A and B are shown apart, each in its own frame.
Chain A
């Protein structure tokens, strides 16, 4: 019971962080990692929010790498 509670709390924190990330990502990050997103609609940006909340560390990594290659 305690273990399950702890796991649930960790998942909740992870998803909350994902939510914060998702806001920044759909406004700015998504166009950095994918040129297909440049002319993309707001509908598209909204529809990728749930996935972004779950897979955010992966997208963050892509975003960091994309901005590094630009600086070079």
Chain B
């Protein structure tokens, strides 16, 4: 969280995650290059690098964009989310190699500046079959670059979570640009439609996953709470909440997580102070609510991060009457201690 910065906040899980990324990428590149050499002996080293890194980057980009909705659909995918930013930086590095070699091969041999040549040598903007598809790739690369250089938490704090999040939402524009870059590029130099089919399948999968998880989230958010008493609303039965876990309820457009910890129920605002992760989808570790996204922790009784950290979330009142859980959606100030509700069975 925010004690003192290090370049990379590695721990055991993140190291395993990073070794898996590195192992997968190396195997992919080796396999791609060997197979290309076997089946196509005239291929040059530059072309091999351009094609192996670009296809791997696009594959990783699909994984990155699928992780969010997959986690919302099924908690088993949460470990993938934990270190998604390293996946993103890896994807950027691969695109950078692809883009640099692309520029080098097609634009660095003349005597005008390669970037200028990239942007101006082809101006067929209203032709589909000769469209300057490389400019689209360049624009996507600029977006990935801005995301990669701001991926450290230092930037999240200083640009403010809102600006940071907005910047990172541009990944969807970048994705669209990449799809167009591949589609328009491929029809210019390839007769084989396999690239187009693969990228089309990828895009369809991503759109479907986003729709499914959106529908699921909608359902939780639109639930109506009929029973109300003195500001409290009836949300569920005591047995519906597992120990050290939570259920999320959306009341008056605010999402609240009700946690069960050592035979008591506590309620906190569902939104993590780090990047807005869903606290109610995490669990209690070492007596703290632990965010499923990057592991920020909060004490269930007061919503405060344990010292030396200083993050705080709002807390809420809960009560139990006849094994029924009642929640008061009026938030207490961030970090306010609440007694919780004791479970008697």
The residues of A with any CB-CB pair to B shorter than 8 Å are 1, 4-5, 8, 33-34, 36-41, 43-44, 46-48, 50-51, 54-55, 58-59, 62
Q: Could you say which of A39, A51, A55 contacts B152, with CB atoms under 8 Å apart?
A: A51
Q: Does B115 contact A (CB under 8 A)?
A: yes
Q: Count of B residues near A, CB < 8 Å?
A: 22
Q: Could you say which of A4, A5, A37, A44 contacts B7, with CB atoms under 8 Å apart?
A: A44
- A40-B4, A40-B6, A50-B149 known; A55-B159 Cβ under 8 A: yes
- For B154, give the chain A residue with the smallest CB separation: A48
Q: Does B27 contact A (CB under 8 A)?
A: no
Chain B residues positioned under 8 Å from A62 (CB to CB) = 158
Q: Does B157 contact A (CB under 8 A)?
A: yes
- Nearest-neighbour CB distance to chain A for B126, whole angstroms, equals 18
Q: Encode contact with A along B52-94: 1 for CB under 8 Å, 0 otherwise.
A: 0000000000000000000000000000000000000000000
A-B contact pairs, 27 of them (CB 8 A): A4-B116, A4-B119, A8-B113, A33-B158, A34-B5, A36-B2, A36-B4, A36-B154, A36-B157, A37-B4, A37-B5, A37-B154, A38-B4, A41-B5, A41-B6, A41-B7, A43-B6, A44-B5, A44-B6, A44-B152, A46-B7, A47-B7, A48-B152, A48-B154, A48-B155, A50-B149, A51-B154
The residues of B with any CB-CB pair to A shorter than 8 Å are 2-8, 113, 115-116, 119-120, 146, 148-150, 152, 154-155, 157-159
Q: Is the CB of A54 within 8 A of B5?
A: no
Chain B residues positioned under 8 Å from A51 (CB to CB) = 149-150, 152, 154-155
- The CA-CA distance from A15 to B83 in the complex, in Å, is 30
Chain A residues positioned under 8 Å from B155 (CB to CB) = 48, 51, 55
8 other contacts beyond A4-B120, A50-B149, with CB at 8 A cut-off? Answer: A4-B116, A8-B115, A34-B5, A36-B4, A41-B6, A48-B155, A51-B155, A59-B158
Q: Is the CB of A36 within 8 A of B3?
A: yes
Interface centre among A1, A4, A51, by most chain B C-beta atoms within 10 angstroms, is: A51
Chain B residues positioned under 8 Å from A1 (CB to CB) = 116, 120
Chain A residues positioned under 8 Å from B159 (CB to CB) = 55, 58
